[in-house]
Chain A
Amino acid sequence: MDWDPQLKNTLAGEFVAGAMDDAARRTFEDRLAWDDELRDAVNTWERRFDVFAEALPEVKPPKRVWKSIERRIAPEPVSGGLWGSLAFWRSAAAFATVAAVALGLSSMLLKPVDGGAKTVYVAVFTDEKANPLFVVSQSSDSDDMRVRALTHPEADKSYELWLLPDKEQKQRTQPVSLGLMPEGGAENLRLSKNLRDAIREAAGLAVSLEPYGGSPKPVPTGPVKGVATMVAL
């Protein structure tokens, strides 16, 4: 159905007010996912209605609520500092499925490896449902790392690829940026020999969501989208 701006505005108001029944709300939300004009109308109404929220009286919750929240965000026991801790990188689930997915995907994503001395390393980042998000591969006869993004960030964000500190934190105590992920499709990232070697030593990689153009700091600043390890095929 074609929605003119006035209808969009009214429906956005009803959506924000909260009066839509479930079916109407679902239809609306489906459209909200791609219709920027509708998204803008919703934002405008949200700002208008914010005044209700501001005027609410305050009620202090019992202490036990914070205690449970605190327990649920507690980091796992850390060995070797914040950056070395996998608990810091939230996506443990992604980590667990990497190896299996990597083996399954390798035949689809990589050209056959010829019988020579070349070795191909690959890591796959997945979401909770094991759908691949990013595929990173590197061949022993190349200076480049091939990165493929199967998802893309919001308009003003970028995905950035990081090499995690090594386990003993001898060579690196902080993540090292390897570059930005393409906004879809595949690209090559040129790497120094040191980094190439480090990556082949089964170092961990991570992808974080950063402001457009990459982290403003030498370390990740945004949420981590996934963690993976390079494996040799």
Chain B
Amino acid sequence: MADPEVLQHLLFQCAREDRNAFSRLYQLTSPKLFSFLLRILKKPDLAEDALQEVFLKIWHRAADYRPDRGAPINWLMRITRNHALDRLRRTAREPRTEEPPEWEEWLSPDAGPVDQASTSADMTRFVECLDELQEEQRKSLLLAYYYGYTHDELADTMKAPLGTVKSWVRRGLQRVKACIEQ
């Protein structure tokens, strides 16, 4: 992962219409954003189109980046995720079949986020708190976040009544929050 300070500097340069900085930003961050788009949109051609649109947004909105609202990569990921979810919402959806990544992956000291130098104590705590959730609560949250599952789609996939799914999401979030604030 690129150094947040480097990315921040590149974003500032992009806000001043520096095309070289933009090219560098693309080289450093597009593999992560593309991987996310592929995960949500599935079809490579859709993901490629979306990546193009996302980077045009980044180019035009670079001046909006605020360092106090989080690391640059996360700002870029939010633009990417919002774009991908909008795109999904605009097209008729096919039945969803994804499984969230195995929870153990998150906790493994080598592959997971926990060991990353850029990961703050808050984030580590967030992962720990997710680990304490009931399996259904955690799975609903991961499917919603990673793949943009709405309540209805969660109910379909997890074969549970809508009200139950809603309460998984809601209680999951409340528990995570309570756990973080302990």
Contacts and interface: CB of A to CB of B under 8 A. Distances in A.
Contact of A221 (B15, B32, B55): B15
Contacts of A35: none
Given A19-B144, A19-B149, A53 B36 contact: yes
Residue in B142, B169, B180 whose Cβ sees the most chain A Cβ within 10 Å:
B169
Nearest to A58: B31
A206 to B, nearest CB: 13
Main secondary structure of the interface of A (DSSP, over half): helix
Interface residues of B, number: 67
Interface residues of A, number: 43
A20 B78 contact: no
B150 A19 contact: yes
A10 B48 contact: no
Contacts of A58: 31-32, 34-35
A223 B12 CA distance: 11
Nearest to B145: A17
A129 interface: no
B11 interface: no
B19 A65 contact: no
Nearest to B111: A55
A19 B89 CA distance: 12
Interface of B: 1, 15-17, 19, 22-23, 26, 30-32, 34-36, 38-39, 47-48, 51-52, 55-56, 59-60, 63, 69-71, 73-74, 77-78, 81, 85, 89, 105-106, 111-113, 116, 118-119, 122-124, 126-127, 140-142, 144-146, 148-152, 154, 169-170, 173-174, 176-177, 180
A54 B119 contact: yes
B56 A57 contact: no
B73 A19 contact: no
A179 interface: no
Contact of B52 (A16, A55, A68): A68
A112 interface: no
Residue in A14, A51, A90 whose Cβ sees the most chain B Cβ within 10 Å:
A51
Contacts of A55: 105-106, 111-113, 116
Contact of B35 (A20, A22, A56, A68): A56
Given A13-B173, A17-B144, A65-B48, A53 B106 contact: no
Given A51-B119, A73-B19, A65 B74 contact: no
A228 interface: no
A19 B154 contact: yes
A90 B63 CA distance: 14
Interface in A70-97: 70, 72-73, 88, 90
Given A50-B123, A209-B63, A65 B52 contact: yes
Nearest to B129: A48
A20 B48 contact: no
A62 interface: yes
A90 B30 CA distance: 24
Contact of B70 (A16, A20, A50, A52): A50
Given A53-B36, A68-B52, A69-B52, A60 B31 contact: yes
A56 B147 CA distance: 13
Nearest to A16: B145
Contact of B16 (A51, A72, A221): A221
Contact of A54 (B17, B118, B140, B169): B118
Contacts of B144: 17-19
Contacts of B126: 48-49, 51
Contacts of B124: 51
Contacts of A61: 30-31, 34, 47-48, 51
A48 B176 CA distance: 10
A54 B16 CA distance: 27
24 contacts: A16-B145, A18-B85, A18-B144, A18-B148, A19-B154, A21-B150, A22-B150, A46-B78, A47-B69, A50-B71, A50-B74, A50-B77, A53-B32, A53-B73, A53-B81, A54-B113, A55-B111, A58-B32, A59-B31, A59-B34, A62-B48, A66-B30, A69-B55, A221-B15
